[in-house]
Structure 1
């Protein structure tokens, strides 16, 4: 039917499941709108072949706007397309697989104003790319060029040949070196973004000539000169035009200078640097500043620059314009002043992660337009009442976590706001479950952990989340009791932490629809139906059932849980053999079965779990030999703990293939024979490692409702200074340990061990000095 519309001007087929077959089924000769069609949107489909350009140019010659973004396009583009598109002004090819060479097809489209190539596979150097683009008439017409999120290398060259260019986005590439001081910018340039994490040194003086610059984004680089110099360079010509300045996540370490020379500045972001002192006392011209982000710096903890002083300075000049104030993660002291209501337009106030102290005044009030209030991780104390939140109907996010605050709300209080984010971790909320939460119908993040709640979950609790997705709930570290009911909910939970309570009974089936499920440290007794009910569980990535009262054989039903990355069933009462279906968890990185009563030999199915980083089966009753395939199949292992079992036989030579191993515990077994000389292959133990090498363990969570990077914790138990201690995250990461003690090993200790950068080695050496007497050696090489 569409093909018969002769006057059709705009055609949008976005996210229609179209593929290359569409191009063959609908021939250009069948269309009657070849001269009328000016706008064509084909984004979010599955086109893969660049022949689509030939199809478009044969279908219509008068296109003004073409959107092919978010397909899978790659390959050579048609030169005919560039010659045929005599009217094309806007071309969007973002989120495809094009390379830099494809840009040559567009250099002679003399009408082109906007070219979007964000998120492609462009890996050439920037000077070559821009030189190619400037070789045709495109150099005179192009006004917007977006090349962010590629792999472009090189430096920023002369750009003055693009005489009409107004917007240039080069962020999130691999640019490096300094921005040349003599770089010439397009005279019409209004928006520039260059964040690449590699640009160094200083902001060039050449910005003195950018008189039309409205937005400058130099964030995510390694710039480190004095900000006073930077502001001087920018204030020469663009002081009257600059509206947005982004310098976040660089290496600036001076004080924040007066920026009031930029009379039209609306946004200033210098977060993530090492700025000192406080806010400039004089901002007499910065009267329209809307957003000020100074978070994650080293703003002063001096008495003269505490929070009341900073608020006072800002209130002198930006009290009516300021909408977002971000001061979190600094060293700001003082308490919350009673003058916050002087900012009638303030919508976001971020003060978390500072050194704020003092008692919350009963008279304290917040701006009535506030949408987000973050005060977490300070040393504030006092009583928070419902009166503190009067007339705050716009509030959407509230985080008071990790303060010494007591929340005393009226039992029947019904707030005027609807919160999406509630963070009250380690505040005093209990002993009763907070009833006011029943009035909140938009919750997607709830953290009331360690709140002193000693109660049962009310029946209305689960109703809050029945129609929402991507929900995060943390009610851990309380004294919540009773059974978790088996609900019938249509939503998906991204994060559920019910750990360290008194929940009992079976684990309900509906909790399988979670991404991260922590039920540790409770009194749960059964999870057969949770585990063995039919249907693939495609979203559960982390499952922690440790320290419960689960008993009997571990059910052999793990084939339903293909996505599991982290599984902890330690400290229960499991018995019997390790189920073979655990070997079907091909994505598994962490398997913890510590401190149970498991028997039998090492399950051979675990050889399939080749992504394992940590395997802990300490304190069981496992027997047999340590299999050879541990070294040949589980090559990514960093932590292997098999201590306090009944393993026998010799150490397999293949164990030396574990080049990434950092903690090896085979103590308290019946191992015999010699320590293999090839132990020198433990290369990770011979290297000095910094904390930066241990920034966490991550996996890619890909579900129907969220795609994100997620981290998990590594916790391990070690005998340290005569007692068993748990090391977690940063405490565990730099440690390196080998424990072979309390076995029947014989022979000499390999000399290669002397080259290990190791914190703790424990083993038994059998010496041959006339008698086969065992000598217990304990060696510290720190």
Structure 2
């Protein structure tokens, strides 16, 4: 989090002079020509927020945002700034805590002034205008109009925000009286800054986020603006030309912001550290490297020192003792290293009562915090998260009565937290303690906290076993995380009331019991996680604004409500419960749904087709969640382990962006559609095992270029394996696609290596699998299968495949698991099999293979060596006891009678049904093997 507020520096004293008294106070009237100019400008605008409702009548000096000279009546100030920007405390929580998918430009377009074309030039008639602010509006991506360069009396010009785009006109250099210029944050560009040379009176220049990539020698151009007090060039794509500057001419400069650029230079810049007048210095994310220079101590006026997110090493120099006005220290994301107490002792003691902000997160600080930390009495922002700090939390924190933001998360703190740690924290709003080893937070049952939190991250802090009663006083809470805090209690009766205004609630990984409130729809929550508890009862109606809802791994039962009441739902997790009944038709109205997890319940019936539902839902241009079809935004669908019936769901034709689909362990039937690859082109994971699908494998399916996991096992699929397998390009890559990691969040089970293995969302994308086992496939194994070089698991067992194993099978160098058992394969085992050096599981049992078993180091390390080849009477050689020299003896041909051979083949179908009972199957196979050996 950035500093809660930048220090206010009064750098333009003339602004007091250009804020005139209202004309009405002196009796001056509006100049008609200027009123007409304003009226024409108003007529060209759209005003959705009604901000210009007062712009009528003859006295334009009374119009909102218009100020006139008290003597002449001339318009001298026009302030139309859009204050509905995304900078409020509430917006910060939404964007950085709740991660709501809201585009700030949408907020502006809904509330900002807009025009339908290029800005009209009527404002050029305001010849006496000294102050013009059009910031944070939306002028239809217009370029900055040239007429502004003719407003020669302008002292103040603010065009910041997404108001304008395109190239900045160099004619702005004609505004020789300009003292304040803000062009920041717009999608603008400039290839030449020489026009700045005409602004000799300029004291404040902010061009942050203007693209200055093509500007040459920007350093020396800016260095000529000797009157500057504020210079902000944040995020301008500036590069290492900063190192060419030998003398700093900006002797009046008080604020310098060069953050978020790519200087790739040493922090040892002599021209900078010798400047004693700078009060605020922002060099964050500038690709600076080296150690912090001792000369930093020369900047005696310094109040803000922001050097965060660079490649700096080593602690701060002892010369900082001279910085008696220091108020903000920000060094996050550097390799400061060393002991925390030693670091804090180097902070200037003369500024202990002034230091307000200290951001040292991710700096590799270790050791314990000093017990005297309470002496830094003005601290209101502390971030020490993501370090290796140890020991108990000093009770001195309880004395920091100005504290607003305290983040100690993700360290190694131990011990208990008591009321004393919070005794005087009257202003505390943001508290982060997650990711430590606190044993318990010990508070009296009737303790009333002195603070009213907005954000509380208390994960793993040991709040239980009772639900913390002190939370009922946190009625202003917007984000609460008490996951994994050993609470084994029911939700209190005041839960819904106290947290009704919260945006995000995480109570997962506890032992919460009892039922949920009958309805949650009047809560404002956008994110709610109650997963992995012991909650019972039915699923209630959802909060109306919810986008993410997790009730997984509980004991919820009964049917889903017919109307969930959550039109903006994006992710729903209800897996691993006891939910019954069918999917309500209301699901078809969830047009914003991205991820749906319903696995491991008792759901039945067909999934709603949702084919005509979109026609009743007209689009809304202001609704970023709108999609014309159900499924149009979906990337993940997991319906596995239920009792769904019917054909392959038709609504999936609309899931263009689907990456993950799991319909396994249901009762779906019918043929696989031919449109999967065409209508779901980005599909990467498809699991349909243990259903009743029939028919052939569509050749069109093999055109799925991104598919790296295909599981069709245990269905009624017949026909041959398509030779077009080589079309599955993702299975041909020997290295995984790094863009797959965000597809699925959860865990999946995969039948490979002879057992059921579980993969988490972070590593499933490394599994390249093809499983066609347990079907009725015939024909031969196509040679083309050896082109799938990325395969790690190949299972074709339990079919009716004949012919030989392809000689090129050894090309699959990455193969870890190969199962060709229970087929009718014949011929010799290819010698190339011994070249599979990654192989850890092999099963060739119960075929008609013959000849000598190939030898190889990898093959000889596999477990259950004899079991690999059992049921192939014609095989000989190690690890079998059968000597290949005996194969020619007529009375011992295959060492088994024709009747017993027929018995082995007939048992294939039986063994197929035992696929889900591997231990019982192994016992039966072993007994049959012993029978044959006898």
Deviation digits for residues 439-477 of structure 1 (CA, Å, limit 9, x no counterpart): 2221111111111111111111222233x36x1111111
Distance 1:713-1:208 versus aligned 2 partners, 3 A rule: farther
Deviation digits for residues 270-308 of structure 1 (CA, Å, limit 9, x no counterpart): 3223433433344221222211122223332xxxx3222
Look up the match of 1:263: 300
Look up the match of 2:285: 249
Look up the match of 2:130: 64
Partner SS state of residue 575, structure 1 = strand
Look up the match of 1:502: 534
Q: Which segment drifts farther, 626-635 or 575-584?
A: 575-584
| Contact 2:205 2:230 survives alignment (8 Å) | no
Look up the match of 1:437: 471
1:544 aligns with 2:573: yes
1:408-557 to 2 correspondences below 5 Å: 408-466=442-500, 468=501, 471-487=503-519, 490-526=522-558, 528-529=560-561, 531-532=562-563, 537-557=566-586
Look up the match of 1:215: 255
| Contact 2:513 2:535 survives alignment (8 Å) | yes
Deviation digits for residues 248-283 of structure 1 (CA, Å, limit 9, x no counterpart): 335445344432122122222232234334333442
Q: Which segment drifts farther, 434-443 or 666-675?
A: 666-675
Rounded Cα–Cα distance in structure 2 between residues aligned with 1:144 and 1:678: 66
* Deviation of 1:570 (Å): 1.0
TM-score (norm 2): 0.70
Distance 1:254-1:308 versus aligned 2 partners, 3 A rule: same
Rounded Cα–Cα distance in structure 1 between residues aligned with 2:498 and 2:477: 7
Distance 1:339-1:719 versus aligned 2 partners, 3 A rule: farther
1:341 aligns with 2:341: no
1:112-511 to 2 correspondences below 5 Å: 112-123=178-189, 126-128=190-192, 130-131=193-194, 133=195, 139-140=199-200, 143-149=203-209, 153-158=213-218, 185-196=224-235, 199-200=238-239, 203-206=242-245, 208-210=247-249, 211-227=251-267, 229-230=268-269, 232-236=270-274, 238=275, 240-258=276-294, 259-300=296-337, 305-314=338-347, 316=349, 318-360=351-393, 365-405=398-438, 406-466=440-500, 468=501, 471-487=503-519, 490-511=522-543
Q: Which segment drifts farther, 516-525 or 395-404?
A: 395-404
Rounded Cα–Cα distance in structure 1 between residues aligned with 2:713 and 2:581: 26
Q: 29, 32, 40: which is aligned to 1:6?
A: 29
* Higher Rg of the two aligned structures: 2
| Contact 1:272 1:295 survives alignment (8 Å) | yes
Look up the match of 2:638: 592
Report the number of matched residues.
725
Look up the match of 1:633: 679
Rounded Cα–Cα distance in structure 1 between residues aligned with 2:392 and 2:281: 36
Q: 54, 71, 74: which is aligned to 2:121?
A: 54
Distance 1:296-1:106 versus aligned 2 partners, 3 A rule: closer
* Deviation of 1:780 (Å): 7.9
Q: Which segment drifts farther, 70-79 or 253-262?
A: 70-79
Rounded Cα–Cα distance in structure 2 between residues aligned with 1:13 and 1:380: 65
Q: Which has the higher helix share?
A: 2
Q: Which segment drifts farther, 684-693 or 588-597?
A: 684-693
1:632-781 to 2 correspondences below 5 Å: 632-687=678-733, 693=739, 696=742, 713=745, 715-719=747-751, 721-745=753-777, 746-751=779-784, 753-754=786-787, 756-763=789-796, 766-769=801-804, 773-774=824-825
| Contact 1:202 1:224 survives alignment (8 Å) | no
| Contact 2:205 2:232 survives alignment (8 Å) | no
| Contact 2:520 2:541 survives alignment (8 Å) | no
Look up the match of 2:594: 565
1:613 aligns with 2:659: yes
| Contact 1:640 1:664 survives alignment (8 Å) | yes
Deviation digits for residues 381-425 of structure 1 (CA, Å, limit 9, x no counterpart): 212111222222122222221222111111111111111111211
Distance 1:31-1:427 versus aligned 2 partners, 3 A rule: closer
Rounded Cα–Cα distance in structure 2 between residues aligned with 1:235 and 1:77: 37
Rounded Cα–Cα distance in structure 1 between residues aligned with 2:577 and 2:28: 68
Deviation digits for residues 52-86 of structure 1 (CA, Å, limit 9, x no counterpart): 4323335x443333333312334567655644x34
Deviation digits for residues 563-583 of structure 1 (CA, Å, limit 9, x no counterpart): 211111111111111221386
1:19 aligns with 2:46: yes
TM-score (norm 1): 0.82
| Contact 1:694 1:730 survives alignment (8 Å) | no
Rounded Cα–Cα distance in structure 2 between residues aligned with 1:40 and 1:217: 28
Distance 1:115-1:584 versus aligned 2 partners, 3 A rule: same
Rounded Cα–Cα distance in structure 2 between residues aligned with 1:659 and 1:97: 42
Deviation digits for residues 718-743 of structure 1 (CA, Å, limit 9, x no counterpart): 33544434433432344443333444
Distance 1:72-1:613 versus aligned 2 partners, 3 A rule: farther
Rounded Cα–Cα distance in structure 2 between residues aligned with 1:608 and 1:691: 25
| Contact 1:602 1:626 survives alignment (8 Å) | yes
Look up the match of 2:863: none
Rounded Cα–Cα distance in structure 2 between residues aligned with 1:376 and 1:244: 28
Unaligned runs of 5+ in 1: 163-183, 698-711
Distance 1:93-1:518 versus aligned 2 partners, 3 A rule: same
Unaligned runs of 5+ in 2: 1-22, 62-67, 83-110, 612-628, 806-821, 840-934
| Contact 1:23 1:55 survives alignment (8 Å) | no
Distance 1:17-1:308 versus aligned 2 partners, 3 A rule: farther
| Contact 2:321 2:346 survives alignment (8 Å) | no
